[in-house]
Each structure stands twice: as structure tokens, then as C-alpha cells.
Amino acid sequence: MPKNINFDKIAHQPAYRVVSEKIRNAILSGEIKTGELLPTETDLAEQFGVTRSTIREAIRLLEHGGILGRADRKRLVVTKPQTDAIGRSVSSALLMHQVTYEELWQVAMGLEPLASKLACTTATKQDKQLLAANLVLTREVMNDHDALLAAEIEFHDLLAKATHNSALLLARAPLNELFYPVAWGEIIRALSPGERILVAHEHIYAAICDNNPDKAEEWMKKHMVDFRRGIEMGNLGFDQPVPVTP
Amino acid sequence: MPKNINFDKIAHQPAYRVVSEKIRNAILSGEIKTGELLPTETDLAEQFGVTRSTIREAIRLLEHGGILGRADRKRLVVTKPQTDAIGRSVSSALLMHQVTYEELWQVAMGLEPLASKLACTTATKQDKQLLAANLVLTREVMNDHDALLAAEIEFHDLLAKATHNSALLLARAPLNELFYPVAWGEIIRALSPGERILVAHEHIYAAICDNNPDKAEEWMKKHMVDFRRGIEMGNLGFDQPVPVTP
DNA sequence: TATTGACCTATTGTCGGACAATAAGTCAAT
DNA sequence: ATTGACTTATTGTCCGACAATAGGTCAATA
């Protein structure tokens, strides 16, 4: 038996990780501000005392998280990660966990009514205008499946944006990315529920304009329950994993 | 004025992106299964017809999302992204958006009561045992601020895991990562609310064992409202951005 | 004046080769 | 069954090179 001495596992990080962390910290701590250009690769290589290849690997590591983007396709720039950028990572993760419609719906049930409620007090005039425009659009494309799907997704997205809550936006990113496109897509093709969708959206919109959080929340709940029924009636099993569709 | 002909912006992707996408698709489509080793860098370079450097950059791109990890610190292996891996990306994003306590609390209000409710029907014996053990631990470390904080965070984490809903786990990752550590940390140091925390946790646990979703949800809501009051009473403003603490 | 063109420069994307460090495997010795 | 010595495969890092191109400057042109 070994003595009961325990050494900590020593943490030998490869250089590209170390560099990546340092850059990440510099960005998060505000040392390099959003919108600023990152030094050129050659500069960085010199500063950190490593080769350009190493720097490049470090940069790639950050690029995926959306912290770094490119201004004009050449120089790298520090960016606020947009929800869709981060959403892709999350979606990949969920797909690999074989997330089911049921699971996503449960999250939607937690977040979407909340978004409706919050939007009542936070929505600006512009937010409301965008929502109104979306309603008009929805009515127009009622019979075009693809366009209707896009409009439906946009409505929920606009609503979430109207909360001006970035945490909420990020938390519901997978809904935009995975859930609605696939699930609503199926439902719309199978049941043509355009009218029902529009009615729900209109009530939610009205509630927001009336500054009536309870009503907004309530209608969104109804809308989501309706949605669930749609899935159940369609051929797609509610407890099935969401299929991979690139 | 230019003629109203519009060409699509041509999408010239650098090779490392293309390669990264191809590997990503191969993984998501199940062509390479979870747990399998990725071919060696030299192999990949040959297969794709690019240099090893390019392959490496492509790999780094995926590594950040947690799709790739390493089995034994050498060969790369395909992994299911764990919540903490993805959580770090999301947290970075939120920090850069200067997310406030208020925003995170709102999300918590949407997700945590939901988790409590769901856990009632999904928690296994083992889940309950873990929760019970956590309660014992909490009682023991009641006066040790750091340990209490850790136990409190663990309780919520265990609860979320008991739902066996990966979408929910991922959505609430930033709470674990950002919100609780910082906010609870402050509250615990300032108010020593150990007793109140324990009582709430015990009620939630009891509700789960009784299979009483409404009660579980209700107590979690109370718990979160309590939490909010704690923040408001402490010196940290509720509408302040969460500080960057690496 | 505003667009075009020619030119130069800085920076990224990609290549190829090189070598050290180190997991992993093999086989013999204890 | 563990240790040790040896070999091999693979990653981490370095160096140097070059093509492609975005950006800037400045003159020529309509």
C-alpha cells in the first residue's frame, strides 16, 4: 500500500493555453477594450516570447468563443460575443448530449413566459415597433411555410431582446438555434397553425403595449402549451432527440 | 447610382475554418463517436491535404467548445462537452456584456424553481442521496463561510442535475459560474444567513422526497426572493455589473 | 470633384521541415 | 508483480519562407 501522502496533480499547461488565458484576462479585465484591434501576430509573438504558430493557436482558442472577431477580415478585433456565436457552441454541446424536444420545451417553458413578463416593463418604443412590424409580416406570409417559420422565430427573438437582459438572451440561445427551427418547422408543415400563432402573438404584443405583465406571461404560456400539443400531434415524438441538421 | 444588381458576399473561408467545420460535422453526425480517438495530427494533415499547422489551428477552434478533450494529455478524444467547459465560454460572454446581478437573478428566477419542480418527478435514489449528503455537509460547515458557499452552490447544482435535463443544465451554467460564487459570497460574508439557507434547502429536499412539485417550486421561489433581499441589503447594488474575478 | 489605376506596405494564411519532450508499448531483469 | 531500460509514436514548439490581400498613398483621368 502506498503511504497516504498525496501530491497535487501538477498542471503543465501548453504554451498556447497559457497565452490564450493571458489574452482572455487582458480582454475581460478591460485592458484591451471592446472594439480595439489586437496587436498583430508578430507583435504578440515577440511580446510573449513564443513563435507565431503558438500565438495563432492561442487566438483560435478564443476566436471560437466569440471574444475575438475580425474587423475587416484581416486584423483581429475584440468583440462582444453575440448570442448566435455563443449559441452555436451551446447547440453543439446539446446535440452531443442528444437533447430531446421535451428537455428543450421545459427550458422554453421556464424562459419564454419570463421574457414576456419582463418585456412589459423594459420594452422601448423601438422594440414595440419591431414587434408590430413582425406581426404585419406574419400576417402577410401566413401561407408560406418557410417565411412563417422565420417570422415566428423572429417574434420570440425580438421579444427576448426587448427584455434587454443579456443573460436571458444567452440562456435561450439554443431555443433559437435548435428548438424552434426544427420543431416549429415540423409543426407548421404538418398542421398549418398560422392563425393560432398569430392570435397568440397578437395577445402577447397587446399585453406588452398595455404594460400588463401577467397577461403577457399567461398568453405566452398558452402559446407554449399549444406548441407542445403541436409536437405531440405531429409525427415527431416528444421524447426523441433533436436530429442533427447542419 | 449603381444598378440594383446584388451579388452575395462571397464567403472565402480560411482553410482552418473549413477543416474545423468538417471535423465538427463528422463528430455531430456520429461519424466519429464520443470517446473515440481522433486520428493523429499528421494523419489528418494528410487526409485533408493541408499542413499540420493548419490542422492544429482547426483543432484549437473545436477544443474551446469542449467537443474535443484529451484522454491522457496526449491523443485527442471526442468528448461530450461538460457544462463547466461550455459554462466558461458563456460566462466570458456575459462578463463582456457587463451583465448585472439583476439580470442573472431574473434568469435564476426562471430556471431554479423550474428545476425544483422537475426534479420531483425525475430525481433518482442516488440524486436524493447526494442531496441528503449535501444537507448534512451544510449543517456541519454552517460557520465556515467558504465551505458554506461551496455547499450552497453544490445544492443547486445537484438539484439541477437531478432533473436530468441537459438543456436546463447548460442554460443555468452561468449561475453556477458567475452569479452564485460572487453574489452568495458577498451575502454570506455580510449576513451569515446559514440558518435561512439550510431551512430553505431542507424544505425543497423534503418536497422532492414527497414528490410534491408545487411545494418544491414554491420554496425555491422563496429561497430566491430571500437571496435577492440579501443582495439588496448588502453593499452590492443589484443593478451593478458582476465584477470580473478570475 | 470623384473615380480609377498603379504602387507599396503590413498582415494574415499556409507551407515545409525540424527537434525536444513525453506517453505508450515491449521486453528483459529482478 | 514490480521495476528498469529501450523504442516508437505523437504532440508541442520553433524557424523560416512565401503567396494573397486589405489598406494606404498618390498621380492620372473623366
Query: Integer distance in angstroms from CA B43 to C1' D6?
Result: 26
pLDDT at A4 over 50: no
- Bridge partners of B78? B68
- Domain count of chain A? 2
Q: Is A67 on the interface with B (CB under 8 A)?
A: yes
Of B101, B59, B207, B203, nearest in space to A63 by CA: B59
Residue A103 and residue A57 share a domain: no
Q: In the listed set B61, B78, B95, which residue is the last one of a domain according to the structure? A: B78
The residues, ordered by sequence, that sit 6+ positions from A61 with a Cβ below 8 Å of its Cβ are A16, A17, A20, B60, B61, B63, B64
CB contact under 8 A, B93 and A80: yes
Q: Would you state the pLDDT for residue A5?
A: 46
Sort out which chain A residues have CB atoms less than 8 A from B244's CB and list them: 28-30
Contact (CB<8Å) B165/A34: no
Q: What is the pLDDT of residue B188?
A: 84
pLDDT tens digits, one per residue of B186-207: 888 777 777 889 999 999 999 9
Cell numbers that stand for A33 in this block: 477594450
> In Å, what is the separation between the CA of B8 and the C1' of C16?
36
Residues A180, A143: one domain?
Answer: yes
State whether A124 and A138 are in the same domain: yes
| Domain harbouring A216, CATH code | 1.20.120.530
Q: What is the pLDDT along chain B (246 residues), one digit of tens a residue?
A: 333 445 555 667 899 999 999 999 999 988 888 888 889 999 999 999 999 999 999 999 999 888 988 876 677 888 888 888 888 889 999 999 999 999 999 999 999 999 999 999 999 999 999 999 999 999 999 888 889 999 999 999 999 999 999 999 999 999 999 999 988 888 887 777 778 899 999 999 999 999 999 999 999 999 999 989 888 876 667 888 888 876
Q: Which among B76, B92, B172 is the top mutation candidate for probing chain A, defined by the most A β-carbons within 10 Å of its own β-carbon? A: B92
Per-residue pLDDT reduced to its tens digit, A173-199: 999 999 999 888 888 887 777 788 999
Instruction: State which nucleotides on strand D lie below 7 Å from a protein beta carbon.
Output: 9-17, 21-23
Q: Does some domain include residue A2? A: no
User: For residues A51 and A57, is the Cβ–Cβ distance under 8 A?
Assistant: no
Q: In chain A, positions 4-23, which contact chain B (CB-CB < 8 Å)?
A: 16
Looking at the structure, do residues B123 and B223 belong to the same domain, yes or no? yes
User: Which of A57, A66, A96 shows the shortest C-beta gap to B81?
Assistant: A96
Cα within 13 Å of Cα(A227), Cβ side: 29
For position B66, which CATH number holds? 1.10.10.10
Instruction: Assign A12 to helix, strand or coil.
Output: coil
Range of the domain at B54: 15-78
Output the pLDDT for position A50. Answer: 95
Q: Which residues of B touch A101 (CB under 8 A)?
A: none
Least reliable range by pLDDT among A13-27, A150-164, B81-95, B137-151 = B81-95
Nearest-10 crossing angle of helices B125-140, B194-209: 160
Q: What is the pLDDT of residue A120?
A: 96
Do B38 and B124 lie in one domain? The reply is: no
Residue finishing a domain among A78, A96, A131: A78
One domain for residues B89 and B145: yes
Helices (H) then strands (E): counts for chain B: 12, 2
- Tens of pLDDT along B52-66? 999 999 999 999 888
Q: For nucleic chain C, give residues with Cβ below 7 angstroms from it.
A: A 12, 38, 40-42, 52-53, 56, 70, 74-76; B 14-16, 49-54, 57, 71-75
Q: Identify whether residues A36 and A99 lie together within a single domain.
A: no
Are residues A20 and A120 part of one domain? Answer: no
Q: Is B99 on the interface with A (CB under 8 A)?
A: yes
A53 part of contact set with chain B, CB < 8 Å: yes
Q: Tell whether B122 and B191 lie within a shared domain.
A: yes
pLDDT in tens, A104-135: 999 999 999 999 999 999 999 999 999 999 99
Same domain, yes or no, for B40 and B109?
Answer: no
For A187, residues 6+ apart whose C-beta sits below 8 A from its C-beta are: A193, A227, A230, A231, A234
Q: How far is B74 from chain A (nearest CA, A)?
A: 11
